[in-house]
Amino acid sequence: MIEIEIANEQEVLEISEEQIRAAVLAVLAKDQIQDAEMSIALVDDPTIHGINRQFLSHDYPTDVISFPLSDSPEKLEGEIVLSVDTAIREAGKVEGVWDAQKEVLLYVIHGTLHLIGFDDHDEEDLVEMRRGEVECLRAIGIEPPEGLHDRDGEEA
């Protein structure tokens, strides 16, 4: 069984919980995961800044942070926290038909990929992460625009 809890703790962007669930399910299907318990929190920059400082010792807001909550191979358990403020700001840097809602879904996919074992700390892993993001965006009917991953300082 797959359980996805969504805590929308921001008020600046309307986003469909159904789309968020679809993004998570696309990643889980990619890895054939059928048992998962996840929570996703949509927050603002000050909130994610505090979380980033507390848990990762980085003193700045970021786009998305993933917290694996279990090492069990039988069940995926994790939490994703993402900044809607950052999504709004970063979406504006992409030319074409890209908006903050799609940027949020990219962060959901990115965070979920981390939970299933993807990494982005070296170039080879980053290429695999980007491929996974594109594949999952397409699986939910979103065609990533050219240059999506070419933004300065982009982490997602």
Start-to-end CA distance of the chain, whole Å, equals 28
**pTM for the predicted model, two decimal places:** 0.92
Q: Is residue 152 in some structural domain?
A: no
Q: Is residue 34 in some structural domain?
A: yes
- Alpha-carbon distance 91 to 70, whole Å? 32
Q: Kindly state the percentage of the chain with pLDDT values over 90.
A: 78
Q: Is residue 95 in some structural domain?
A: yes
Q: Is residue 115 in some structural domain?
A: yes
Is there a contact between 12 and 84 (Cβ–Cβ < 8 Å)? yes
* Higher pLDDT among residues 73 and 118, named by residue: 118
Q: Is residue 149 in some structural domain?
A: no
Q: Is residue 88 in some structural domain?
A: yes
Q: Is residue 153 in some structural domain?
A: no
| CATH at residue 136 | 3.40.390.30
Q: Is residue 107 in some structural domain?
A: yes
pLDDT digits (tens, 9 = 90+) for 36-56: 999 999 999 999 999 999 999
Give the domain extent around 106: 2-141
pLDDT digits (tens, 9 = 90+) for 67-110: 999 888 889 999 999 999 999 999 988 877 899 999 999 999 99
Classify the C-alpha dihedral 11-56-93-18 as positive or negative: negative
Q: What is the token pair recorded at 151?
A: 């933004």
Count up the domains in the chain and report the number: 1
